[in-house]
Structure 1
Amino acid sequence: MYVFGGRFDRIGPQQTTQNIYDDRLYVFNPDDASWSLITANREIPCGRRSHSAFVHHGKLYMFSGYNNVMGLHFNGLYEFNPLTLLWRRIKPHGISNPVPRRRQCCLVIDDRMYMFGGTSPISTSTFANHSHEMQDVDARRTILYDQSDLYVLDFTPTLRTLCLFLLAQRKINVNILPKKLHQEYQLFTQSNIIRQRSTGETSG
């Protein structure tokens, strides 16, 4: 079992403003009930919490998360190879990465990872004239939104998927496509849908 990141307080269990975000990777061996620290190398992701981790074909992947000390939400995807002990940042093809977020759900089915939701920050300056819409504002003057978008990361894309990617990349006119393919293209390239927090939802 691999454990990465999380937040803890400098003086122990008592919660303070002295947050520490660990960027070390720990592994637990159930055979002898032992913990050990992995000396990883290369593109090590910075410490964070509220990220997602999943396994695909023997490699560990980590997506997104939040670091309050840096005041940043992330949207990067990292891969860790337990055989070489190397981290590397993945640069997926296709549409732009999902906007930075935390607390999203990632689920792997066969050779696809599905990512849904999460919480993203938007500067309150964007909504200066719409203060009545703000439900949840944190200390850094950002408003937090719950996302309702769905992304798919395809580890082994089909020729059909690659063709859709090429159409989007080169901005080719798709009006000549059959209706079914046109609808599929729209789903492939549509923008994020964001939903403001409902009253009572927390910013944790």
Structure 2
Amino acid sequence: MQWITHLDGGPRRVNHAGACVGDRIYSFGGYCTGDDYRLNECIDVHALNTNTLRWSLVPQMRDENGLPLKYPEVPFQRYGHTAVSYGDKIFMWGGRNDDQLCNILYCFDPQTISWSRPDVKGAVPGARDGHSACVIGDCMYIFGGFVEEINEFSCDVHCLDFRTMEWRYIQTFGAPPSFRDFHSAASIYDRMYIFGGRGDKHSPYHSQEEMYCPEIVFLDMKTKMWHRPSTTGKVPVGRRSHSMFIYNGLIHIFGGYNGILEQHFNDFYTFDPKSNCWNLIKPFGQPPTARRRQVCIVKDKRMFLFGGTSPHPHDSLLIDNNDTHLLDFEPTLRTLAILAVINHRLDTTWLPKKLKEEIRLMTQPNSLTRPLNHAG
């Protein structure tokens, strides 16, 4: 396992959402410090070609007069939302801008580069942000988040059946995870695992007295029973706004932030759902800087990490990142040889054109955004 690529110049986004269809990873919305998020302009969408590592801005939908469509025909720019892929489409739900939240389901079609609003029925969850979403079978499961209408954290589970487009509230059994937002969820073995997030000493209410649960909990989708496995190994510190993903039967955790410790993380953990064992992993290569609110997407044998916010090295400010990092779970001899050429700055004059092009793509920054000036 090795970090093999770090490229700047991608979309500068924090608290965005992402999903993968085919060989493209799509990034939806998020915020960038200094921008105005009170308007109902269409959400921006960026696409990463996982073969060339190039980012591009997806064109907005327009009306017959050539003007960009606006909410509610298309989703407004937002943060704290979720996006999942199902089949060849991506479904986005929840989130907010600085004025309002949204509980309309939107569907993005990568083939036609268009948005639609599927007709849904049933018990639609209340608008929220900081929730989680994952797909199990033909259903999307929503857990937790902060529901501003009632000013409370949630620990409810809601389900959207993609076959019928019907929302259902899921009656669960056993003690659910504590009320929380900005946790993470992942599905494996017909279970929805929940880790981390921000709670409150006076949950479900928000009193600014934060709590960070270090337990991992799962919901068995067959019995709808919550379980708290007895774990061994090196347990991660409780955190929020981290990333959680599955590869090769293991749950992976990266980064995040603990407000009590006032600490950002760039540590990397795995959890084995069969042995219930945690492990602290240190992949080879240069890891990303400590951060929160990034997106991590697994494609084949690689994980793509982009965006998020990191502490400034010289003061108390935060830096909105525009970088893309690539973690190779099983680097080939070819990849290791390319890294040797790059790291030792070897002469590439006599290398085949295809190999030189691959080296260029792994080292040349994107050009969507410019570097920030940290000199003052």
**Would the TM-score normalized by the shorter structure come out above 0.5?**
yes
Amino acid at match of 2:232: N
Amino acid at match of 1:118: G
Deviation at 1:81, TM superposition (A): 0.7
Deviation at 1:165, TM superposition (A): 2.7
SS at match of 1:27: strand
Cα distance in 2, alignment partners of residues 195 and 81 from structure 1: 39
| Counterpart selection for 1:50 from 241, 251, 259 | 241
Cα distance in 1, alignment partners of residues 288 and 330 from structure 2: 19
Pairing of 1:54-133 with structure 2 (within 5 A): 54-94=245-285, 96-123=286-313, 125=315
CA change 1:21–1:194 in 2 (3 A) is farther
Deviation at 1:14, TM superposition (A): 2.5
Does residue 1:166 correspond to 2:340, yes or no? yes
Deviation at 1:123, TM superposition (A): 4.6
Q: CA RMSD in A?
A: 2.4
Deviation at 1:190, TM superposition (A): 6.8
| Counterpart selection for 1:145 from 288, 295, 319 | 319
Cα distance in 1, alignment partners of residues 206 and 341 from structure 2: 51
Deviation at 1:173, TM superposition (A): 2.9
CA displacement, residues 30-76 of structure 1 (integer Å, 9 cap, x when unaligned): 11111011211111111000011111121101111111111111111
CA change 1:69–1:154 in 2 (3 A) is same
SS at match of 1:38: coil
Deviation at 1:27, TM superposition (A): 0.7
Moved over 6 A (4+): 190-194
Which is higher, the Rg of structure 1 or of structure 2? 2
Deviation at 1:176, TM superposition (A): 4.1
The structure in which a higher percent of residues are helix is 1
Residue 133 (structure 1) aligns with: none
Contact 1:145 1:194 in 2 (8 A): no
Residue 129 (structure 1) aligns with: none
Deviation at 1:104, TM superposition (A): 0.7
Amino acid at match of 2:197: G
Amino acid at match of 2:340: L
Contact 1:44 1:87 in 2 (8 A): yes
Contact 1:147 1:195 in 2 (8 A): no
Which of 1 and 2 has higher RCO (CA within 8 Å, sep 6+)?
Answer: 2
Residue 148 (structure 2) aligns with: none
Deviation at 1:77, TM superposition (A): 1.4
How many residue pairs end up in the alignment? Answer: 178
SS at match of 1:75: strand
Amino acid at match of 1:80: F
* Structure 1 unmatched runs, 5+: 126-141, 197-204
| Counterpart selection for 2:228 from 4, 15, 37 | 37
Contact 1:145 1:195 in 2 (8 A): no
